[in-house]
Amino acid sequence: MYPQLVIDLNKVKNNLDKISEMVKSVGCSLMIVTKGYCADVEIYKMLEESDIDFLADSRIQNLKKYEGTKKQRALLRLPMGSEAEEIVRYADLSLNSELVTIKKLDDAARKQNKIHNILLMIDLGDLREGIFYKNEDEILNAVEEILKLENIKLHGIGVNLTCYGAVIPKNENLSILVDIAEKIEQKFDIKLDMISGGNSSSVHLIDKNELPKKINNLRIGEAFLLGDETSYSQMLDGLYDDCFVLEAEIIELKVKQSVPIGETGVDAFGNKPVYEDRGIIKRAIIAVGRQDVDSDNLHPIDPKIDILGASSDHLILDVTKSDNEYKVGDIINFKLSYSSLLRATTSAYVSRTYIK
Ligand SMILES: *Cc1c(COP(=O)(O)O)cnc(C)c1O
């Protein structure tokens, strides 16, 4: 059934082993982040047999799928207070920044007779989650309150970068996180077990030997899935970028002009597109659309195919320059960037096959 996502589990395993080796070589524990591919169960089986420490996801529904796992489970997105009960049940650790929510987790943990671990998130300037690093009083006050809660353990602190603000992790900004950890440890005479230094954008610091020594955890999704570090978009040595390949079928192939005829308004998504005049071209329509992929983050493996545009269920290609004589019914293959992988694995219309 097309469109289908072909997942090469041997390549995924290769990437997993390489990431694990890198992350562990600098003394960090490893959370593998499974949200980018909707917690696929075949990949889960592989992770279960690996030496990773945590299965991490932003959605509690995905962590719930890992019922019975030998690994620890971490919730990455800040909890909703309304899901506190489920979070305590299905996650061993969650990332937090709001005392009201942490108190709800404490209540839920008491009812379930559990201790729930949290990382207090610090915002080093990316301006997504976390207490702003300059607000030292707010940080120390939060710690003081957390330490009063009987069913919550402050497992450590963490930062997330390169998500909203596109801020790149460096030795300098991550050292601020380490300083904050040390301040907390001294003031409250406690030991923080985990200082979590970010996601795939922190991987570039490993090779450069610039990850501060006290950072002892990383949370890795994209680098594992697509083989790149996400600060400078460089491929990592020995990793694959084609563990996931999307295959979709040609449903129309016609020679037409490249600029629409008539007065133009907005397209199916309310945008006013600009059309490049390519003259008369050979256009292929394939049966996959924006519901299943992000057409700006999809890469035809045939280098001579250009993506012209997409609507919800159609992707329009210029195949004029290709060396292949495509016909209706042929399959076109694509590599995917993160946002396309996310959609393809979330779409109910994309089937999956595995290379084992
Ligand atoms: C998504 C996410 C990650 C993983 O990011 P990648 O860039 O895919 O490695 C790590 N931490 C948090 C909090 C996240 O939301």
The protein residue whose alpha carbon is closest to atom 12 in ligand 1 is 76
pLDDT at 354 over 90: yes
Residues 202 and 186: their CA atoms lie apart, in Å, by 27
Catalytic center residues:
35
Cα(243)–Cα(204) distance, rounded to whole angstroms? 21
Which atom number of ligand 1 is nearest to the Cα of residue 199?
9
Q: Take atom 6 of ligand 1 and give the residue whose Cα is closest.
A: 221
Rounded to the nearest angstrom, the distance between the alpha carbon of 219 and the centre of ligand 1 is 6
Cα of 32 from ligand 1 centre, angstroms = 9
Start-end of H helices in the chain? 9-25, 41-48, 60-65, 84-90, 99-111, 136-147, 171-188, 204-207, 222-226, 338-346
- Give the distance (Å) from ligand 1 centre to CA of residue 259: 40
The span from the CA of 150 to the CA of 116, in Å, is 10
* Residue 264, pLDDT score: 86
pLDDT of residue 269 exceeding 90: no
190-204: average pLDDT: 98
- Residues 337-349 have a mean pLDDT of 98
* 156 backbone φψ class: left, alpha, beta (φ>0; ψ -120 to 50): left
Contact 110, 133 (CB under 8 A): no
Mean pLDDT of 22-32: 98
Domain with CATH 3.20.20.10 in the chain: 9-226
Nearest alpha-carbon partner for 93 in 75, 120, 110, 66: 75
Pick the atom of ligand 1 nearest to 121's CA: 13
234-254 pLDDT tens trace:
999 999 999 999 999 999 999
> How confident is the model over 85-113, as pLDDT tens digits?
999 999 999 999 999 999 999 999 999 99
- Summarize the confidence of residues 28-54 as an average pLDDT: 98
Query: What is the Cα–Cα distance from 142 to 102, expressed in whole angstroms?
Result: 10
Average pLDDT in the 203-210 region?
A: 96
The 3-state DSSP class for residue 356 equals coil
- Quote the pLDDT of residue 248: 98
Ligand 1 pocket at CB < 6 A: 33, 35-36, 58, 76, 95, 160, 199-200, 219-223, 230
200 Cα nearest atom in ligand 1: 9
For 62-88, what is the mean pLDDT? Answer: 98
Which CATH number applies to 244-355: 1.10.10.10, 2.40.37.10, 3.40.718.10, 3.40.1080.10? 2.40.37.10
Q: Give residue 336 CA to ligand 1 midpoint distance, Å.
A: 18
Question: Does residue 273 have a pLDDT over 90?
Answer: no
Q: What DSSP assignment string belongs to 125-162? A: SS-SSSEETT-HHHHHHHHHHHHT-TTEEEEEEE---S
Out of 31, 33, 126, give the residue to mutate to test ligand 1, the one with the largest number of ligand atoms within 8 Å of its CB. 33
Averaged pLDDT for residues 250-259: 97
Mean pLDDT of 2-15: 98
Query: Is domain 9-226 classified as CATH 3.20.20.10?
Result: yes
Report, as an integer, the average pLDDT of 291-302: 97
Q: Is the pLDDT confidence value at 190 over 90?
A: yes
CA 275–ligand 1 middle distance (angstroms): 36
Is the pLDDT at 267 greater than 90, yes or no?
no
Tens-place pLDDT, residues 108-167: 999 999 999 999 999 999 999 999 999 999 999 999 999 999 999 999 999 999 999 999
What are the pLDDT digits (tens) for 305-318? 999 999 999 999 99
Kindly tell me if the per-residue pLDDT of 288 is higher than 90. Answer: yes
| 209 SS3 class | coil
pLDDT above 90: residue 201: yes
- Pocket-testing residue among 199, 226, 239, ligand 1, by greatest number of atoms within 8 A of Cβ: 199
Confidence at residue 81, expressed as pLDDT on a 0 to 100 scale: 98
Atom of ligand 1 nearest to the CA of 163: 7
The segment(s) of the chain belonging to CATH 2.40.37.10 are: 244-355
**Per-residue pLDDT for 182 more than 90?**
yes
How confident is residue 63, by pLDDT bands cut at 50, 70 and 90?
very high
Q: 């690996």: which residue's tokens?
A: 50
Does residue 21 surpass a pLDDT of 90?
yes
Q: Return d(Cα 334, Cα 299) in angstroms, integer.
A: 5
Confidence of residue 193 (pLDDT cuts 50, 70, 90): very high
Cis peptide before 3 (omega within 30 of 0): yes
